[in-house]
Each structure stands twice: as C-alpha cells, then as structure tokens.
Amino acid sequence: MSTLITNIAELMTQDAEHRVLKNAAVVVEGERISWLGPTADAPAADEAVDAGGRALLPGWVDSHTHLIFAGDRTAEFEARMAGESYQAGGIAVTTGATRNTGDFDLTRLALGRVAEAVSQGTTYLETKTGYGLDVENEARSARIASTVADEATYLGAHLVPAGMEPEEYTDLVCGPMLAAVRPYVRWADVFCERGAFTEEQSRRVLQACRDAGLGLRVHGNQLGEGPGVRLAVEFGAASVDHVNYLAPADVDALAGSWSGWDAETGEGRGTGHRGTVATCLPACDLSTRQPLAPGRELLDAGVQVALASNCNPGTSYTSSMAFCVTTAVLQMRLSVHEAVRAATYGGALALGRESGNDVDGERAVGSIAVGHRADLHLLNAPSATHLAYRPGIPLTHAVWRAGVRAR
C-alpha cells in the first residue's frame, strides 16, 4: 500500500543536506519513505492525501523520558514554585507509588503517556526504568518499558533508596539488578549528581553496563558543574543529558568527541567515531528553575545537540516536544531549523538511530529521506516557524508513525 502526500508548502527533511523543499510531495510505501520531491513530479500511489499547503517535518524523536511511574508530585511542584530548590530526593516519592501499582495499571498509565506524545507529533521515543529501585521492580519496569517505547534504558542508578548504603546499592545495580533487566533494555544510564551517585559510583555503573553490552547515557551537570560530562565522553556515551552547568573544559570535551565526525554526511572521518550528544531538556529547566542549558554555545562549538522532553512526574511533566522546540528558539537562541533538527535528527543521533535504510534493514528515524522510516508530522501551519511564532498553539494536524497514520 502506497500513500502520496502532496501539496506540502514546506518540507523540512533534516537529512544530510539539510534540505527545505517548497511545494513538495512524499510517497510512503509500507513503513518506509519511497520518494520525495516536487509535487509536479510526484509518481502515482494507491491513495493520496492533500496536505493543504501545510508544513511537513520528521516526527519528533524524544530521546529522554521517564514514563514508567505511578503517583503524583503536585505538592513538590507547588513548593518549588514557592521558592524551594530542586533536590534529587523527590524521586523516592514516585518509587513508593510505582512499587504499589500493579503491572496492568502501570502499563496502562505508560501507554496513555505514549499516546499523548504521539498525538503531539512524537513518533519515536525512549523511556527509562528508575522508579523501582529494587531488583524485582526494576526488572518489571524494564519489561514494561520494552513493550511501550521504542527504546528502553536501565536507570537503576537513579537514586539510592532509603535503608540502603550507597556502596551496597551500587553493588546491586552493577550485579543482580543489571542481570535482571538486561533482556529488556538496550541502554543504561546513571544520575551522576550530588544527592545521587558520585563520580566513582557512576564509573562503576558505566563500566558494568558497558561490560554487559549496553549502550551508555549519563544524567550530568544538572545541579552544578561536576564529572558527568567528562565521564560520558570518557566512556563514549551516546549522550549526556541536562548539561545546565558546563565549564569551558566540558564544552571542549564534548566538541572534541565529534572531531572525527562529518556533520554533513553523518559519516565518520579518520577513526570514524561518533561523539557524545548533549541533550538539552528545557521543560525540565523551567520547572526546576535551573539555568537553561547553553544550547547556542554547544552548537557554536561543534557539539551535536538534541532536545528531549524529560517527561517525568517530578520535574518535567510534559511530553510536548513542540514546547521544547519553542523554548529553544525563544529562550536558548537556536534558530527554528536548529531547534527542529535537535528535536528530530538530534534525538535520533542520541539513540543511535540516525542511519539505516533499505540496504541494512534498520531504518533511520529523525529525518525524511528515501529508505528511512516514514515518521511524519504534518503541522497545521505553512512553515515550521509557526512553532515559535505562535507559542502554545497546538499545531499538530496529522502524524504517521512507521507509515501508519496515528492521528
């Protein structure tokens, strides 16, 4: 079954050539994109959809969420808005509620959050464990995550639960808990921050998870300058997320990790090693009243940047990637094209899903190109600029996820 989407006013491909096509069309065949170009040259297809002069983008790629949870932290949010500072310990409130919720309800809640994200244009997303914090509940969260999200991440190293010593819990995270979650996850993460895991504990977690064959991510430099960025680069982590407080050496380290990468073609030069993506989480920054991550400085330094929602019950209870894009443009000084790229191709890069086509069978996401997965987001606006020009206005008109219309 093939579908021709025609009369697209602006097609922002986010491909290697950064093309923005006018009066364009796209053909979707099965789950893949089979053609794109001028409307006048479009081939025939089984069915046609008239975009009506609207803009078409790749679907949002949300590379950082925490969707497997139960409970509510409204009181914590109110206290923070009244002037209390954010502390990592609030995670414990969610842990208790999550442990006390059955599998069916925990899955139902997570699926509802995924559906909410998809309705706003998100077509590929990651989610983490981290609200179980014992072997049984982390394994359960990993299993549920693997069924509701496109990518699942092990975050047993989220917080040391009450009643356990930090070294004792780190042993658990690196041993029995890791073994229990391993069948369900592709990634591992660690909250390397004051009040969470120290540099040495984080190093142990990253080493154990790498030895287990997992890709690595790091929560780092959220509450102050620290070792998170340095550890992420040292271990070759796919991303380091938050990055609110960066010393010049941190920016240099991130930029250096991309020194062998050809940003135009997405292929490596020399050693061919890809670097560590800096994932900015602006909705979280606003909710915790932290300084916004220095996205402009990072891009100017040559760092690959992603935007993600960080959807979670404590510090960023939103799945709106459009809100993150708007904030990046209006307050972080990214251009509209840069912000959209960070929320699509950047997220795919952070998840190692930026490449792949008909040849290798693993279709790329986050960009619109022949052979890539047909993840498409049609705006109820003639250009992507309206995302920032009309802040707060819901602009999602239609969504295709792997070639299937989801809205």
Q: What pLDDT sits at residue 270?
A: 31
What would the DSSP string read from start to end of 236-264?
Answer: T-SEEEE--S--HHHHHHHHHHTTTEETT
pLDDT band at 268 (very low <50, low <70, confident <90, very high): very low
φ, ψ at 168 (rounded to 5°): -65, -45
DSSP annotation of 53: E
Whole-angstrom distance, CA of residue 293 vs CA of residue 284: 10
C-alpha neighbours within 13 Å on the C-beta side of residue 170: 19
Q: What pLDDT sits at residue 263?
A: 61
Q: What is the pLDDT of residues 1-56, one digit of tens each?
A: 999 999 999 999 999 889 999 999 999 999 999 999 999 999 999 999 999 999 99
Q: What is the pLDDT of residues 354-379, one digit of tens each?
A: 988 766 567 999 999 999 999 999 99
Of 258-262, 359-363, 401-405, least confident by mean pLDDT is 359-363
Secondary structure (3-state) at 152: strand
Q: What pLDDT sits at residue 235?
A: 98
Q: What is the pLDDT of residues 134-146, one digit of tens each?
A: 999 999 999 999 9
Q: Which amino acid is at 140?
A: R
Whole-angstrom distance, CA of residue 336 vs CA of residue 386: 9
Q: What pLDDT sits at residue 273?
A: 75
For residue 50, what are its two tokens? 């008239």
| Residues with Cβ within 8 Å of residue 235, at least 6 apart in sequence | 206, 207, 210, 216, 218
- In 258-320, which residue ranges form alpha helices assigned H by DSSP? 282-288, 295-300
Q: What pLDDT sits at residue 362?
A: 79
Domain 60-334: state its class: alpha beta
* Residue 37 CB-density burial (10 A; 0-12 exposed, 13-18 middle, 19+ buried): middle
Q: Would you say domain 2-58+360-405 falls under CATH 3.40.1030.10?
A: no
Whole-angstrom distance, CA of residue 226 vs CA of residue 15: 34
| pTM exceeds cut of 0.75 | yes
Domain regions of the chain by residue span: 2-58+360-405, 60-334
Q: What pLDDT sits at residue 260?
A: 85
What would the DSSP string read from start to end of 68-118?
Answer: ---S--HHHHHHHHTTPPP-GGGHHHHHHHHHTS-HHHHHHHHHHHHHHHH
Mean of all residue pLDDT scores within the chain = 94
- Cα distances from 335 to residues 29, 34, 234, 321, 367, in angstroms, run 32, 29, 30, 16, 18
φ, ψ at 338 (rounded to 5°): -65, -40
Average pLDDT over every residue of 268-281:
74
Rg of the chain's alpha carbons, rounded to an integer? 20
Average pLDDT over every residue of 239-268:
87
Q: What is the pLDDT of residues 293-351, one digit of tens each?
A: 999 999 999 999 999 999 999 999 999 999 999 999 999 999 999 999 999 999 999 99
**Confidence check: pLDDT of 267 > 60:** no
Between vectors from CA 126 to CA 35 and to CA 268, what angle results, nearest 5°?
60
Whole-angstrom distance, CA of residue 265 vs CA of residue 272: 12
Q: What pLDDT sits at residue 83?
A: 87
Average pLDDT over every residue of 233-244:
98
φ, ψ at 226 (rounded to 5°): -170, -170
pLDDT band at 93 (very low <50, low <70, confident <90, very high): confident
Question: Which residues, in sequence order, are bridge partners of residue 180?
Answer: none
